[in-house]
Chains A and B, each alone.
Chain A
Amino acid sequence: MMNSSPAVSIAGLRVKRGKVQVFDGLDLDLAPGRITGLMGPSGCGKSTLIRCVVGIQKVQGGTVTVLGQPAGTPGLRRRVSYSSQQASVYTDLSVGENVAYFARLFGLPSSEAERVVAAVGLADQSRQRADDLSGGQLTRTSLAIALLGSPELVVLDEPTVGLDPVLRAELWGIFRNLADQGITLIVSSHVMDEANRCDDLLLMRQGRIVAHTSPANLLLESGKSDPDEAFLELIRRDAAEPRHLLDTPDDAPDTAPRHAQEEER
């Protein structure tokens, strides 16, 4: 199905966070050089999946291979960049100081820090302290750090949350630009109108992949005209008949641990 080896390959992934079994045998391949949108209701496992790809999530079993190496190996730290949902910046430093610090950690010149600050439209705020920024500016500061250097895989957890439509369009322009350079992007979102901007879509629900498709196919499969409706339709179908898209053994309520007799590895 894919021409080249996948950028991300996940097999039999099992993750437990607290008492909740988030993934129980997740399998997934992501094509390189494309923007994969990770969509799904909050709590469906988007962030956990992202953390697994970046290699900062403790896993109970299975393999996560990123760019041909196990996720989280030191060799990947320059090749994979990540921005978490929470803007992970030093609020007592200025925008410029934040980005410059991370640039130095990657051994990049200060011109590179200036480039990414400008790319996210914060050149005028560069000297402003992060705790004086608006929420959207803070998110963009965090995003700028993820754009540093020349990563091959960029993983962004809800990078456009709380941004106005103009900025969102600009950022998606940046993402598209990166993908055109052959960079693979994983972008999570719960704004369904962003689904159309992705090359591939991954619809998740309760730790399972409900659909892995393209935006056009999503509409086709669901018989709906907009992504929001299409997504709801697929969720509805999945809830009614959870086995029909993916082979998962249970449909227990969210509150209880989904697998009581979890065998330890």
Chain B
Amino acid sequence: MRLLATAGRVLGQLRHDPRTVAIMALLPMLLVGLFAWIMPAQQFDRIGPMLIALFPFTVMFIVTSIATLRERTSGTLERLLTTPLRKVELLFGYEIAFGLVAVLQAVLVVTFAVYVCGLDIDGSLWVVGGMAVLNALMGTALGLLASAFARTEFQAVQFMPVFVFPQMALGGVFMPRAQMPDVLSAISDWLPLSYSIEAVQRASTGITGWELNRPLLILVGVTLLALLLGSLTLPRRTP
């Protein structure tokens, strides 16, 4: 009840901001379309699935970190914590709300990529779409955690490039991780987006079983860990 009320409230806030909803829905398609146009088909088949997975992550990371930073600074978080609402209900309220938005985003972008841009995926479309949603959930969890380290919205938006770009570079978008210098490859083993990229690459080339499930489990683990750490950044008593 309180969980769903919270998810509904977050969605209600989005509903009052149709421009943001439009950007969330259309921008991934525009970006995928642009890459499809630039790249030869074979290369697009490799990059396309990564875009489908990484874009929801990036968007949800930034949207959640701003949204929860606002909760922290506007006094609404403090107020929520004086009500019977449990922290876990607040966190999963956000996850459900942005998860639903991610489902919408994934349906649109996968449909567009495959049927308009001619993306050729060997694996299941559903698995690739599901991966986009999973990445969005991880982005939400990490964004929530990141918001604890920002005092202003200016700081919060800058976490996005700091957090996302190095992970993309090290995660195998531009160069397979196995071909990187040992140090960088070792670092990339500890970055969550490495497993996002690995999972979506494997899913889109039709790999199933443990090869696919291992990175997926890591993503689920990172999401839960980020939520756990995030709940520690929501103390009821503040100095």
Residues on B with C-beta less than 8 A from A82 are 79, 82
**Min CB distance, A128 to chain B, in Å?**
11
B176 contacts A by Cβ under 8 Å = no
CA distance A145 to B8 in the complex (A): 18
A97 contacts B by Cβ under 8 Å = yes
A86 contacts B by Cβ under 8 Å = yes
When the two chains form their complex, are residues B239 and A17 in contact, meaning their CB atoms are under 8 A apart?
yes
Residues on B with C-beta less than 8 A from A56 are 78, 81-82, 236-238
B16 contacts A by Cβ under 8 Å = yes
When the two chains form their complex, are residues A145 and B79 in contact, meaning their CB atoms are under 8 A apart?
yes
**Min CB distance, B84 to chain A, in Å?**
5
* Size bracket, chain B contacts: 20 to 34
Residues on B with C-beta less than 8 A from A86 are 74-75
Q: Which residue of B lies closest to A18 (CB)?
A: B239
Residues on B with C-beta less than 8 A from A91 are 74
Residues on A with C-beta less than 8 A from B8 are 101
Q: Which residue of B lies closest to A17 (CB)?
A: B239
**Min CB distance, B236 to chain A, in Å?**
6
Contact with B along A84-115 (1 / 0, CB 8 A): 10111111111001000110111100000000
When the two chains form their complex, are residues A92 and B84 in contact, meaning their CB atoms are under 8 A apart?
no
Residues on A with C-beta less than 8 A from B84 are 74, 77-78, 105-107
Residues on A with C-beta less than 8 A from B1 are 104, 107
CA distance A105 to B82 in the complex (A): 11
A215 contacts B by Cβ under 8 Å = no
Residues on A with C-beta less than 8 A from B238 are 56-58
CA distance A17 to B78 in the complex (A): 17
When the two chains form their complex, are residues A106 and B83 in contact, meaning their CB atoms are under 8 A apart?
yes
Q: Which residue of A lies closest to B16 (CB)?
A: A92
Interface of chain A, helix or strand or loop or mixed?
Answer: loop
B13 contacts A by Cβ under 8 Å = yes
B26 contacts A by Cβ under 8 Å = no
B182 contacts A by Cβ under 8 Å = no
CA distance A106 to B17 in the complex (A): 27
Q: Known: A56-B237, A77-B84. Is A88-B9 also a contact (CB below 8 A)?
A: no
When the two chains form their complex, are residues A80 and B76 in contact, meaning their CB atoms are under 8 A apart?
no
Interfacial residues of chain A within 10-55, with CB under 8 A of chain B in the complex: 16-18, 54-55
B85 contacts A by Cβ under 8 Å = yes
A72 contacts B by Cβ under 8 Å = yes
Q: Which residue of B lies closest to A103 (CB)?
A: B5
**Min CB distance, A153 to chain B, in Å?**
12
Q: Which residue of A lies closest to B14 (CB)?
A: A92
CA distance A129 to B6 in the complex (A): 18
Q: Known: A72-B236, A72-B237. Is A54-B5 also a contact (CB below 8 A)?
A: no
Contact with A along B18-36 (1 / 0, CB 8 A): 0000000000000000000
**Min CB distance, B171 to chain A, in Å?**
34
When the two chains form their complex, are residues B75 and A84 in contact, meaning their CB atoms are under 8 A apart?
yes
Residues on B with C-beta less than 8 A from A101 are 5-6, 8-9, 12
Q: Which residue of A lies closest to B81 (CB)?
A: A56
Residues on B with C-beta less than 8 A from A102 are 79, 83
Residues on B with C-beta less than 8 A from A93 are 9, 12-13, 16
**Min CB distance, B3 to chain A, in Å?**
10
Residues of A within 8 A of B (CB): 16-18, 54-59, 72, 74, 77-78, 80-82, 84, 86-94, 97, 101-102, 104-107, 129, 145
When A and B form their complex, which 4 residue pairs have the shortest distance between CB atoms, in order from nearest?
A: A88-B75, A104-B5, A88-B79, A101-B9
11 contacts between A and B (CB under 8 A): A57-B238, A81-B82, A82-B79, A88-B75, A92-B13, A97-B12, A101-B5, A104-B1, A104-B2, A105-B5, A105-B83
